[in-house]
Structure formats: C-alpha cells, structure tokens
Structure 1
Amino acid sequence: MIGYLLVQPELKIDWTKMPTYNTIMAVAAGVGLVLVVWFGRKLLRGDPMEHVDGWALAFGVLGALLALTGLHMTLTWPLAGQGFPFDNIIFGEPSLAFGAMLLAAALYLWKRWTPPQGAADRREHVARVAGPISLFAFAMGLACFGIAAAGWTYTLFAAPPQEPISGAFADMPMLEATFISGLYVLVGIGAVVFPFALRARGGPAATVTGVCWLVAGVVFALFGALNYFTHIGLIVNTM
C-alpha cells in the first residue's frame, strides 16, 4: 500500500513521477516466507530431499524479483516523487534483504547441496550453514519492529478514499496502520527467533518462527494479490 495521504476528493497523482510496484513485491515476499517454512518443515521431519532443484528454482525466482525491485526502490526512491520517501525504506530495503537471502539459498541448493543421510545430521548441517546469515535475519527482524513502530507512530499505510476497498476505511487510518504494522511484527518475531531455532535444531523456537512466517506470508501474498485490483483502481481514479 502507498503511505498515508492527506487527500481531497479531486486528488490527482502524476504516476510518471511515482512508479509503484509493491504489488509484486508483496506477493513474492509472502510466497517466499511460505516456501521457507515449508522447506524448513521438510528438513525437521526428515523427509527425503535428495533432489532440491525445484526449491532452488523457486527461491531463485522469488529472490530475483525481490532483490531487483528492492534494489531499485532502495537506490532510486521512486515513491519519493510526490512525497512518500519513507515508503521506499519500508518496502524496498526489507525486500532487498529477503531477496538476497533467497538468492543465496537458491545458489547453495543448486550448487552445493549434499544432504547427510540421517535427519539429525541434516538438521546439524543446515544449522551450521545457515548460522552466520541468521545474524542478518535477526538484525532485519529488529528493523521490522522499527518499521512497525513507525507505522503506528506516524499512522502510515492508510489508503486514500480514491482506492477501491481499502479506501472505504480512509477515515480510520489506524486500522490499516495496525494491519500492516502487525504483519511486520510477525515477520520480525520470526526473524529474531530464527537463530535460536537453528541453534536448538528445532523445538519451540522453530515452531514460533514457522507460525509467524506462515501467517505473515499467507496474508502478504493475499493482500498483494488484492492490491492488483485496488492499486489499479487508485491509478484510474487519480490519473
């Protein structure tokens, strides 16, 4: 969603100065979170995983989408054209970080994956490989908490009345601020707990991470899909 707007009924936006593509970013991020949970569950259950080409392809596709769009948004700030520079940080930088990690996972699975035979040995192997990058995931989890706090503090994420569906709640800006900030909190909790889940090789920490990322992933994907309609409608109504 575009950040909070103080709008009038005759709102007009020059969309050539504010390209918006956080629709595909939300869908890719949501599906990526779901796939990470699915992959982790297979590892913890000891399911056969000798052939991981499909996982490498999935992580690679989603990682490329998130890294490219996140990098462009991070470096060029396209949403600053008409007064929303904070949205470039909120959407661009987390997408870039998650996309880079998915690309790294895809490359590893494609080139270096040699799973041990036993389930316990496999968990040990993955924990050792993913341990260092989990510190970055932990730090980005803290960043998600910062984004959520900013959303609540400054009442971000509210849609203008010209946007279909979401715009019906334009007079309740805290509603959507709470909704999106809540999703960032879920992602943040999962990311902060992730290193402990690796260290414990599963257990309650893995359950917390899995539930948080699964719920947030499903909601992000569905919300991003919905935004294909709502954002198109906003463009039509304001161009």
Structure 2
Amino acid sequence: MTPLTAHSLPLAASGLKIDWARMPTYNTIMSVAAGAGLLLVVVLGRRLLVGGRGGGAPDGWALAFGALGFTLVTTGLHMTLTWPLAGQGFPFDNVIFGEPALAFGVFLLAASFYLWKRGAGLLEEGGVDRVRLVAMPISVFVFGMGLACFGIAAAGWKYTLFAAPPEEPISGEFSDWPWLEASFMSGLYVLVGIGALLFPFALRRPRTWTSPVIGVVWGLAGLAFLVFGGLNYFTHIGLIVNTM
C-alpha cells in the first residue's frame, strides 16, 4: 500500500528518484490503526450480542477507541485538507487514504466518548438495544462511506492503483503484475464497504444474518490492514532508502 502507482513504473527503468520532502506518506500507521479499529469493533459487537463475562472494562474500550480515533483523525485530517499531500502527482491518495481514515477516526472518537460517559451500562443486559438506538442516526454516514469504499475499489481496479514500483521491497517483486496489489487492496475496500452497507440494517435487527456477515468481512479486512500496515513499515522504509 504505497503512495506510488503503476503510473510511476516507467520511471523505474532509469532509476526512480523521489523528493520525499514533497511526498510525505504515513498510510503505514493509518493502516495499522484502521485494522486494529475494525477488529475491536467486531470484538465489542460480538461481546454485546453474545453477552457473558470477559468483555473488558468500558474504560479500556474508551481508551482504545480514543487512541485509534486520534491517530486516524489527525493523519486523515491532514491528508484530506493538504491538497495534494503527495506533491509529485498523486493527489488521489488524499481521497483513497485520507478521507476514509478521517471518517473512521471520527466514528471511533465518537464511540470512545460515548463509552467513557455511558459505557458502564452497555455490557449489561439490554446493552444491544441501547447501542442500536444510539447508533441509528450515524449509520447514515456509515452507509455513505460504504458506498465510498466501493467507489475507491472500482477506481483501484480500473486505474490499477496501489501497485508498488520495483524499488519497493517485497511488493515491488510483483511490479510486473500491477493488477495483483490493486486487486488485493480493492478487495479490502470491498469488504469494508459490505459491512458498512449492512450496518444500518444490522442495527434494525441485530440478531439476524447481517451481524455475523459484518463481523466476518470487517474481521478479515481488519486483520489484513493490520498485518499489511505492519509489513509496510519495512517496505516503505526500503522504498525511501532505494529512491533517495
């Protein structure tokens, strides 16, 4: 998951050089935070639906969502408002990474605030109904971002975005097949989008098939974003070293 795309590959033949002062990139920590946030949402949702003990302290959930939300809001807001953040010809990165990160970060911060103020009663009987009523208005925004995820995925496939140049370790080994990483990343956005589109319907009837489906798609996407973001700490450092 790099700010460079297949459009940069022809430059690699003559030795790709990047002015990193004009190409700030931190979708590494954004990916890790988004992945962790999706996984925690799935775990908390399951805890509310299944009930029982071992769900953790509400303050702990508030702190976790607050830390992840702060990370995504600060990075996503800067990427969204600094146009373009990638000053060497990749303004679509602001839309692909910045805006979804900002939206998810706002969701997490809102959840953190609510859990901090009212979390003590959520892990008790009746917590599902309370969450369902409270989250219903924001579900319109979640649904809209689900549509956005499908739009990003479609753009990734059509324009072969996300492909790494040969100078990037590991991912660059597949630079001759730009559709591969484009399909992988677009697939993750599709998974997130499916869960977001189903979210309002799951709130109306939380104990139907919609909730398990959301858990599966967001769980898979969260794990992938978490692992891939961690891996990118190596690949992006390698890309910087190889293109300075």
What TM-score bracket applies, with the shorter chain setting the length? over 0.9
C-alpha change, 1:117 and 1:11, in structure 2 (3 Å) is: closer
Cα deviations by residue, 1:138-169 (Å, 9 ceiling, x for unpaired): 10000000000000010100000000000000
**Residues 59 and 119 of structure 2 are in contact (CA less than 8 Å); yes or no, is this contact kept in structure 1?**
no
RMSD between superposed Cα atoms in Å: 1.4
2:99 matches 1:93: yes
Matched pairs, number? 238
Amino acid at match of 1:189: I
5+ unaligned residues in a row in structure 1: which ranges? none
Residue 3 of structure 1 corresponds to: 4
Asked if residue 102 in structure 1 is aligned to residue 108 in structure 2, the reply is yes
- Is the counterpart of residue 157 in structure 1 residue 158 in structure 2? no
- Cα contact 1:20–1:78 (8 A) shared by 2: no
Q: Is the 8 A contact 1:18 1:78 kept in 2?
A: no
What are the superposed Cα offsets for residues 173-225 of structure 1, whole Å, 9 maximum, x if unpaired?
A: 10010000000000000010011111102221001111000000000000000
Query: 2-side partners of 1:213 and 1:63: how far apart?
Result: 17
2:201 aligned with 1:196: yes
> 1:71: which partner in 2?
77
Which of 138, 142, 158 is the equivalent residue of 2:143?
A: 138
For structure 2, list consecutive stretches of 5 or more residues without a partner in the other structure.
Answer: none
Distance (whole Å) between structure 2 residues aligned to residue 60 and residue 175 of structure 1: 34
Partner of residue 233, structure 2:
228
> With structure 1 as the length reference, what TM-score do the two structures score?
0.96
Name the residue aligned to 2:61. 55
> How far has the Cα of 1:112 moved from its partner?
2.5
CA distance, structure 2, for counterparts of residue 20 and residue 169 of structure 1: 21
State the SS of the aligned residue for 2:163. coil
Residues 50 and 115, structure 1, Cα contact 8 Å, conserved in 2: no
Q: Deviations over 1:29-79 (max 9, x none)?
A: 000000000000000011346830000000000000000000000000354
**C-alpha spacing 1:177/1:124, structure 2 compared with 1 (3 Å):** same
Higher mean Cα deviation, 135-144 or 6-15? Answer: 6-15
Cross-structure match for 1:83: 89
Deviates more, 1:170-179 or 1:69-78: 69-78
* The one of 118, 121, 134 aligned to 1:112: 118
Asked whether the equivalents of residues 127 and 199 of structure 1 are also in contact (C-alpha less than 8 Å), the reply is yes
Q: Which range moves more in the overlay, 50-59 or 141-150?
A: 50-59
| Identity level (%) | 66
Residue 180 (structure 1) aligned to one of 159, 181, 185: 185
- CA separation in 1, counterparts of 2:116 and 2:151? 34
**Which amino acid counterpart does residue 4 of structure 2 have in structure 1?**
G
Equivalent residue letter for 2:26: Y
* Among 24, 31, 34, the residue aligned to 2:39: 34
How far apart, CA to CA, are the structure 1 residues paired with 2:58 and 2:123?
A: 15
Q: Which amino acid aligns with 1:17?
A: R
SS of residue paired to 2:137: helix
